[in-house]
Amino acid sequence: MKDKKDLKVVIAPDSFKGSLTSLEAANAIKKGFELEGVSNCICIPMADGGEGTVDAMISATGGKLVKCKATDPMGTTIDAFYGILGDGKTAVIEMAAASGLPLVKTADRNPMLASTFGTGELMLDAVNNGCSKLIIGIGGSATNDGGTGMAKALGIQFLDINNNELHEGGGALIDLYKINTTHFDKRFYDIEIQVACDVDNPLCGESGASYVYGPQKGATQKMVTQLDRSLRNLAYVLKKDMNKDILDLPGAGAAGGLGGGLFAFVDAKLLKGIHIMMEAANIDEQIKNADLVITGEGQTDYQTAFGKVPAGIAEITSKYKKPLICISGSLGKDYEKLYDIGITSIFSICNKPMNLKYAIENAEELITNLSQSIARLVARQD
């Protein structure tokens, strides 16, 4: 290993859920290395498309936050946001900022009525601000409308057999007979859209949007059955009127069918969130020239290998044969399996018996202390 003054360290963690954003975690790791005299630390906060993606990508690319009004899942106007990356042409949107479950009180949650209209409004605002590429994270939705609310915001009409426009929400789609694209905002034909979609659920059936995710959004068993039938009807009409087949598309069931809707209505590509993030941040080039890479997350277990941030970073470090250390809030079942995907070593920030509350409240200090210890190990002392 090089002398510490010459050591280049790339720091690319995910957020520590419920405790630190990815930027805060990266800065805590950097502080630990700087305490040992390692000053060439490059912080590239990461995310996988869920909460915190906008902040992470803004930070990683030198972008800016944009605040705007949007419609929440139940039709109320709220303050929302999205980001524009450092290139000035790419917008990053968290659908949860306008259509997320936390925006709806538990007693009011009803995926029969909840709409993704607000997500479409964020997309429109970004295009109105000159963006030609959209990156959309679709985790944490309150909706089950197959993205029809989003499409309505872009000018598409959903009509019943009597040519009446359907009301908002997934429940109404059982009456869908015709899709009218006459008033679709044609600018979106020229917009590149990538969707951070880290699940492969189909649109319908026992593994589909309604059965798997409907109950957590407030759906009763009766509603689940109705919503599944509604999405199946949407898929039928989409194939009939637009020649788009989403019924068995992997990921179509993400976010209550928004994954399928984005694919069908705006020709979006459904991709792994971490891959989108890494490309936007140009992290490949940074890791190529690094001596050591540090990643991290709130809990590390065997599921980390399935597209989470440390696994994505490991793909690149393996390619360039760089050492990769993962700092974790806690270590779960079979975390050792991650050594097989290219992670060199994994450490927990818990340095003594402690409960979860203590670990969350003191995560920043614990991460810094552990990082300082790692720095002492990997950097030659004077």
Among candidate residues 191, 198, 367, 347, the one with its CA nearest the CA of residue 277: 198
pLDDT reading at 266 higher than 70: yes
- Mean pLDDT score, 76-84: 98
Which residue bears the tokens 């009446």? 164
Cβ atoms of 312 and 92 closer than 8 Å: no
pLDDT the model gives residue 380: 64
Q: How far apart are the first and last CA of the chain?
A: 13
- Average pLDDT in the chain: 94
DSSP 260: H
7-33 as b/e: b if 16+ CB within 10 A? bbbbbbbbbbeebbbbbbbbbbbbbbb
- What CA–CA distance (Å, rounded) separates 209 from 267? 20
The model's confidence at residue 306, banded by pLDDT at 50, 70 and 90, is: confident
- Mean pLDDT over residues 203-221, rounded? 96
How much is the pLDDT for 1? 56
The per-residue pLDDT for 99 is 97
User: Does pTM surpass 0.75?
Assistant: yes
What is the spatial distance between Cα 56 and Cα 294, in angstroms, rounded to a whole number?
16
**What pLDDT, on the 0 to 100 scale, is given for residue 10?**
97
Rounded to 10 degrees, what is the CA torsion of 378, 33, 279, 209? 100
Instruction: Give the model's pLDDT for residue 89.
Output: 97
75 — pLDDT class (breaks 50, 70, 90): very high
pLDDT, tens digit, for every residue of 283-297?
999 999 999 999 999
Q: What is the pLDDT of residue 48?
A: 79
Average pLDDT over residues 255-259: 96
CATH superfamily of 53-271: Glycerate kinase, domain 2 (3.90.1510.10)
pLDDT at 130: 97
Q: Which helix (H) or strand (E) holds 131?
A: none
* pLDDT tens figures, 16-35: 988 899 999 999 999 999 99
Domain 4-47+283-378, CATH number (from 3.40.50.10350, 3.40.50.12780, 3.40.50.450, 3.40.50.300): 3.40.50.10350
Q: For residue 382, is pLDDT > 60?
A: no
For the chain, the domains span 4-47+283-378, 53-271
